Structure formats: C-alpha cells, structure tokens
Chains A and B, each alone.
Chain A
Amino acid sequence: MAELSKNGEAADATPNVTEVETVDAATEAEAVAAIEAPVGRGEPILQVRNLVKHFPLTQGILFKKQVGAVKAVDGVSFDLYQGETLGIVGESGCGKSTVAKLLMTLERATAGEVFYKGQDITKLSGRALKAVRRNIQMVFQDPYTSLNPRMTVGDIIGEPFDIHPEVAPKGDRRRKVQELLDVVGLNPEYINRYPHQFSGGQRQRIGIARGLALNPEIIICDEPVSALDVSVQAQVINLMEKLQDEFNLSYVFIAHDLSIVRHISDRVGVMYLGKMAEIGTDTQIYDHPTHPYTQALLSAVPVPDPEAREGRERIILTGDVPSPANPPSGCRFRTRCWKAEEKCSTEVPLLAIPERFQGQDTPAAHESACHFAEEKDVIHAA
C-alpha cells in the first residue's frame, strides 16, 4: 500500500453496500497475522482514503423508493500515526461522529477504504474483523446512556472478555477488572456497584476502563468530556493523557470544543459538511490556519480573557450550515464564505498543500481544501 492516492474522485457512490465476498481460510489467517503484528511509533497505523457514507432517503410506505441521500461523509482521507492523538473538530452535522462509527466498523462505508496495518477493514469479515475490533475501541460521549443501568460495573468492564475470552481466562477476570478500575483511578472495591451510584466523571472513567479492557491500540473518543463539568473535564483529560503514555495508545479525539482539542492533539483535522477542510499539526491549524472556515471557527470561540475582547477580530458567519442531503456544488463552504468566487461553485477544492505555499518552509504549508488559501492568525490579539 505504498502509494495511496488521497484525492481520487470521491466515487459518486450509490448507497448500496457491496457484499463482502467470503474469504478463504488462508487469506484470513494472513490478515489476522498482519493485524496482530506491532507497528512502530510514528508510523501510520490507520490510513483512511476517500471514505464515503451516504444514508438513503426513502419515500413511500409499501413501495419504498430512494429519493436522495444524506451525504454524511463524502470523501474523507487522513492518516493516524501510532502513538499520536488526531483531533477532529467540526460543528454538528459535519459528519465527525459518522467517521467514528465507520472507523469502528459499526457502520458499513458506502465507498472508500480504511487501512488498518495495511488491511482494508471495510472489506474484512469473520476472524479478521473480530481481531480488528479488539484493537480499535471506543469511548462515548454520554456517560449516562452508554452504561447499562442494570449491570454492575464489574460486568460492564468485563463484558468485552466474553467476546474475546483469549484476553482474560475466566478465572482471571475479576482480578483484571479490578486492575482496570485502579488504572482509571476508581476504587477496585466498587466492582459490584451500579452506574447510578457514580457521578458523571466517574462514569466516564468506567467507560474508559471498558475501552481499555482488551488492550487496544487505537481508541476512538467521540466527545468524551463534553457532558462533564469544567472541573471534572480536566481530571478526565489528564487521565486520558496518562493512559496514552502508559499503554502506547493512538487516539482519534472527536470534539467540538476547540480549546480541548488543541490541548490534547498532536494533529488536528477540521471537518465541514462531510469533507475535511484543513488538516495539520496543532500549531499549523491554530496559529496559521489557511482555510476560511477554520479561521471563522477559531475566531468565534470565546476566549476566557476579558482583555482580548477588543483586540480580537471576530469573523461572524452568516446563515446556517446547508443540508447534507443537498450540499452546495463545488466548495461546500462557499455559501457562507466571504472569499467565494465563480471558481468555488464549479470546482471542488482538493485537500492538498496550497500551491502558493508548496516547497516553502512555513507553518502555512499544510493541507487545506481552499482555492484561495491564505494564512491568517485569528486567535491572538493584534
């Protein structure tokens, strides 16, 4: 998989899922072996290429016919390197949670590939898929609804072992669960308690312990702290950073809070209406953004410093995000963009280093999907 094109045409995909062909035992064993092999630090562990997910819109009750599709994710490409945190930010409806579900293979992709150690997980099945799922785990947003209220904490954290018994033999499970509770900073004696006996922050710790149970390599975190109070948020973020070092984890951190994403991420991707608008290191994105949407997003974040009230330029966008069922032609942001010209409605801008910055040693030289990319610092007071 040496050469993976990042900007191939996002296939005008029909939402019909391609049936996964049955793999013979030999190729499956090969895939499992590849999945279980370790990856060196800093090498790509997950490579996402032109990922597409369309949800069909149907009409009629008896005779359903498809009248369109919600283009939740429409050609997204990025790499996740071993040991890093990739933050994905964007407003509601931009497709960031759908990306999370696709990476988890909880949803079938309409088109595109997700290579995990060279294996395309959108095409895997059976033993190989099970092995992938063990290595990619998830932490959810809402600690109140993501834990079963009728199960004890021990059962919740130990449940992954029922599906993957090879990780912990039956007699060893209780000890393993207690170890996990200790790792996430909860008293191991709480093993027989129920979720309602815990606060929001403690519940999120339980969710994290469940995510860690199978010793995964990648954890997908979908808004893991947005339901928590400010003082508890910091505790959970610190815990997640500690665990990353301890277990050598790679995180995909999805959130709408731009300050938290900057804090935890090594690299950040900005999504808008199913597409990646800009991606780069945290300094490149926050201090040297080149995409107008990123600039507007950053300038809209209220900064906890009253002195900055006057000094900062605010870019206030007009209008709302268009419907993903009927996105604008060309650049999707053009309907709200102050730079939009004729070209933007006809040509889809590709996610690449803008021509004017190519070959230059500047932080502005990072991938940005805009015809008129231009560097602009919006978060530091003038």
Chain B
Amino acid sequence: MLLEVRDLHVEFHTRDGVAKAVNGVDYSVDEGETLAVLGESGSGKSVTAQAVMGILDMPPGRITGGEILFQGQDLLKLKEEERRKVRGAKMAMIFQDALSSLNPVISVGDQLGEMFQVHRGMSRKDSRAKAVELMDRVRIPAAKERVGQYPHQFSGGMRQRIMIAMALALEPELIIADEPTTALDVTVQAQVMDLLAELQRELHMGLILITHDLGVVADVADKIAVMYAGRIVEHAPVHEIYEAPAHPYTKGLLESIPRLDQKGSQLYAIKGLPPNLLAIPPGCAFNPRCPLAQDRCRTDVPPLYEVTESPVPRRSACHYWKECLHG
C-alpha cells in the first residue's frame, strides 16, 4: 500500500473551545489508484490531507492520535528535516485557488525551477530548461516564450495547469488534489481533469481527490470515502456507492442534487444544518438530520460496519446500513 492513514485525530484549539476536526479517519491509496474524499465544508476532508502533507498549522491544530504510513514509514514520527525530503519529492499537493497559491512576484519559470534547484541541486539554467519541459507536458502553448511570465499573465485554467506541473515536477508517487477544479468554468474544468487523469495513468501515481462535487467523483474515482463531522461514514468502490448507498447521508446527498439529463420534481433536502465541530452530537453525528435515526443512534457511536469484502472493501458507519441499502 502506498499510503495508509490509520485512526487519525486532529483538533484545533480556539477561543471558543476545542474543535474536533478529524475524529478517527482511516483510508488508503495504492499506486495508480484514485481515492475521492467527498464531504461538505467542515467535514475534515482538507484537514486530513494537510496532516498527510505535513502542512497543518500547528498551533492551533494538533494531531492527537493515529498514524500516517507512507510506503510503510510513519510520517508522524519523522523529524521536520526528513519530512521535507518527502514533501514535494514523493508526495505533492494541488490546491484549489491557483492564483493565491502561486507567488505573484516570481516568474512561473523560476517557481517551477525552484523545485529542481532545492531538491535536485540543479543549476539555474538547467532548472529553467526543466521548467519549459514541464509546461510543455501540461500543454501550455508556447512554453518557451511564456516561461518568464508572471502568474497574472495566465488565465485561470492555465494557472491550474502550472500548479499541476509544479506538483508533478519531481515525479511524486502520490498527488493530493484539493478541489482542483472548483474555481474553474465547466469547459476548462473538463480540460484540467482530463489532463490530470492522463498524467496519473502515465506516471502510475496514487491520487487523492478532495471534492464536494459528486459529478467529478463519478468521472474519475476508483473508490470513495464520504466524510461527515470528521469521520468517514461510508467507504466504497465508485460504482456501488452511486447504485446503492449504504449510509443515509450519502443517500441524501445523491438525492439532493438535480439531474442534468432529466427534469425532476421537487428536490430531496437533507433537513437541518451541518454539525458544529465544537459540539458534535453524541452517538452518530448525523443523527439529528437522519430519517432512519433510532434511540440507539443518539447514544452509540456506530463503528465502520463491513458491508461487503469484495475486491475493495465496502464499509458504512450506520447502525442501520442494511435498511438504508435495501430501503
């Protein structure tokens, strides 16, 4: 296994109390595999990724438990110095907002080349050539002429390509893409997702795709982890989850999005609001919004029940997953 996150816990200490952002997350990605982490704002999907990358703001954040095994090695036990050698070279991240993730006063070529200078000890001239090569690879037209330009001279889609080029620079084994296309228009989004999928196949990388868009997930993912209130509530291969969700939250999400190919009647709406991380409801965190909730759900935290063990294990954190699956 390329990456395995085991029972990860992350807290944030704020003025109003302790926000429990991640409460025991387990997931894994293999080489060449795409895991989609799906969740709404505050579900802990980005915080988990930041912990994996080692870019969590600490303080106020604190990792209070768990392991992050990368090629068998627990990253949480490494010194910052050793961690830095992993970050960028072996795992890289693509952020949502390319404009604010790129340095506005350094040329694109220098930002791309920096990777080679720092990690590979290349000269400025060689790294420039590498930068042009990378820009070609992500299909930026006239790469040679544009390598000296600054981020503001590129369009949104092009900037996101540069972010992808930067992440790919050192041919990492794992890429974490945090909402890589959310800020882009649909036609550009399709271009960028295609490029990302193609490069992943070519380089046989593991990909963690963090998103809230159920459409994007259906297009590219192999397996899905659905997060709610800092926990994984359902984990399944992509086809099965769309066909028959085994958790009421997943089911509600799928029913609440309108369809493009047919005009539906009224939308199903999950009642209530996402939970406050300072005061997560006892028992199952979803119980106040759940149509299946019983007394037991208000007291017992549901474990991740095994639904099926077929090639990719399928799990659901619902006491009544059978009712959900067949109801």
Contact = CB atoms under 8 A, between A and B. Distances in A.
Given A296-B187, A304-B218, A317-B187, A379 B158 contact: no
A259 B267 contact: no
B155 interface: yes
B151 interface: no
Main secondary structure of the interface of A (DSSP, over half): helix
A230 B189 CA distance: 19
A232 interface: yes
Given A229-B40, A229-B41, A231-B274, A286 B194 contact: no
A380 B266 contact: no
A273 interface: no
B256 A304 contact: no
Nearest to A309: B219
A380 B40 CA distance: 28
Nearest to B224: A306
A39 interface: no
B239 A316 contact: no
A302 B256 contact: no
Interface string A228-267: 0111111101100100000000000000101110111000
A298 interface: yes
Nearest to B267: A234
Interface stretch (B11-19, B68-76, B257-265): B257-265
A282 interface: yes
Contacts, number: 128
A379 to B, nearest CB: 5
Contacts of B269: 231, 234-235, 238
A146 B61 CA distance: 31
A261 to B, nearest CB: 9
Contact of A304 (B155, B158, B215, B273): B215
Given A238-B267, A241-B266, A302-B218, A229 B260 contact: no
Interface in B141-189: 155, 157-158, 185-189
Interface in B201-224: 212-219
A372 B216 CA distance: 31
Nearest to B238: A306
A303 interface: yes
A56 to B, nearest CB: 22
A187 B273 CA distance: 14
B274 A229 contact: yes
Interface of A: 91-92, 199, 201-202, 229-235, 237-238, 241, 256, 258-260, 262-264, 282-283, 286, 296-298, 300-309, 314, 316-317, 320-321, 379-380
Interface of B: 40-41, 155, 157-158, 185-191, 193-194, 212-219, 238-239, 242, 252-254, 256-261, 263-264, 266-271, 273-274
Given A304-B254, A305-B218, A320-B157, 5 more contacts: A231-B253, A231-B274, A235-B269, A282-B263, A314-B190
23 contacts: A91-B187, A92-B185, A201-B273, A230-B212, A230-B256, A231-B40, A234-B267, A256-B186, A259-B259, A260-B258, A262-B263, A263-B258, A286-B261, A296-B187, A300-B187, A303-B215, A304-B218, A305-B242, A306-B239, A314-B190, A317-B187, A317-B191, A380-B261
